[in-house]
Amino acid sequence: MTALKLKWLKQSQEKPYNLKPKNGHQQRALFVAKYAAYSATMIVISIFVILSIVSAIQSGTNYGDSCKDRSDPACYAKCNPIDTTACMLPYPSSYYLVADSSTETGYRVSFDPSTLPITKRGAHINPLHWNDLDGFSTTAPLLFNLPDVTNDTMIPWWNLELYSASNVSSVLINTKTGARVPHWVEIDRVDAQWPMIIMQPAVSLEFNTRYVVGIRRMTNSKGEVIPATPGMQVLIGKSTSDDDMSQSYNTDIFPVLSAQGQCDYL
């Protein structure tokens, strides 16, 4: 059997199978087979391309591909009224948390599909992965914006001990302990027309803990004290019974700031 098998293999190698037609019928049959295979391949490719285009169109519709002007407020939704210079400022904020008993913290991040920034392509960043989290990073900076702000009264990174001073312009408070967190504040000038203020904690924040940020008496290029944002001024004038946001600030935030001995960290 071995000899026969080897002989068969040798013959197979010597006479490879080929599709060369021997007559007109075979030639036509081979042409039809090749054409059918080519047509099937092109149909599969066309379907793939069409599905890809449809998917891209749907994605763009869901996340704001129609927004050409990234500064247009109409392109955003569920924006924090405290800082209207950008939809998701100040960041992070409990404004973007919802109650969720299934998580460790009891909360879950909840960004609207039209809340996050718009890319140069005109589409919002997809919040899918953020909305799976039970809170914000313990090491990330805190971001906000004030018009025409200067760094004259900010805590510099080379003088961190100022964070505990009584007249300091910024505080970051652990609501469990009431202690201030050392930090520094600086201006990100990547976009000269829209500078971002960065508060950077000097130590990692604690997990499953709420923090309160207070800002006061920062100055503009004329040396003038920048007033509280219009959204904050509205909140200051409201009571706990006005709405959920007013209740949260009057119950959980303003008292924490007042406990620092000053009431103007607003």
The string of pLDDT tens digits covering residues 125-175 is 999 999 999 999 999 999 999 888 999 999 999 999 999 998 899 999 999
Which residues are bridge partners to 174 per DSSP?
A: 211
More confident residue, 66 or 51: 66
Q: Is 185 helix (H, G, I), strand (E, B) or coil?
A: strand
Nearest one of 260, 251, 233 to 179, comparing CA atoms: 260
User: What's the rounded Cα separation, in Å, for the pair 103 and 101?
Assistant: 6
More confident residue, 253 or 58: 253
Look at 23-37, 79-93, 228-242 and tell me which has the smallest mean pLDDT: 23-37
Q: What is the pLDDT of residue 58?
A: 38
More confident residue, 247 or 152: 152
Contacts of 200 (CB under 8 A, 6+ apart): 141, 142, 157, 183, 184, 185, 186
Nearest one of 262, 261, 237 to 250, comparing CA atoms: 237
Band (pLDDT 50/70/90 cuts) for residue 24 is low
Q: What is the pLDDT of residue 244?
A: 83
pTM (2 d.p.): 0.71
Exposed, middle or buried, 24 (CB in 10 Å: 0-12/13-18/19+)? exposed
Tell me the percentage of the chain whose pLDDT exceeds 90: 42
Which residues are bridge partners to 186 per DSSP?
A: 198
Instruction: Provide mean pLDDT across the span 225-254.
Output: 84
Note whether 202 and 155 are within 8 A (CB).
no
Instruction: Provide mean pLDDT across the span 89-100.
Output: 94
Which pair of structure tokens corresponds to residue 219?
């100055």
Q: Does residue 114 register a pLDDT over 70?
A: yes
User: What's the rounded Cα separation, in Å, for the pair 176 and 209?
Assistant: 7
195 preceded by a cis bond (ω within 30 of 0): no
Band (pLDDT 50/70/90 cuts) for residue 241 is low
Which pair of structure tokens corresponds to residue 265?
């960290």
Q: What is the pLDDT of residue 144?
A: 93
User: What's the rounded Cα separation, in Å, for the pair 163 and 144?
Assistant: 18
Note whether 163 and 181 are within 8 A (CB).
yes
Band (pLDDT 50/70/90 cuts) for residue 47 is low
Instruction: Provide mean pLDDT across the span 204-208.
Output: 95
Look at 176-180, 204-208, 240-244 and tell me which has the smallest mean pLDDT: 240-244
Q: Is 144 helix (H, G, I), strand (E, B) or coil?
A: strand
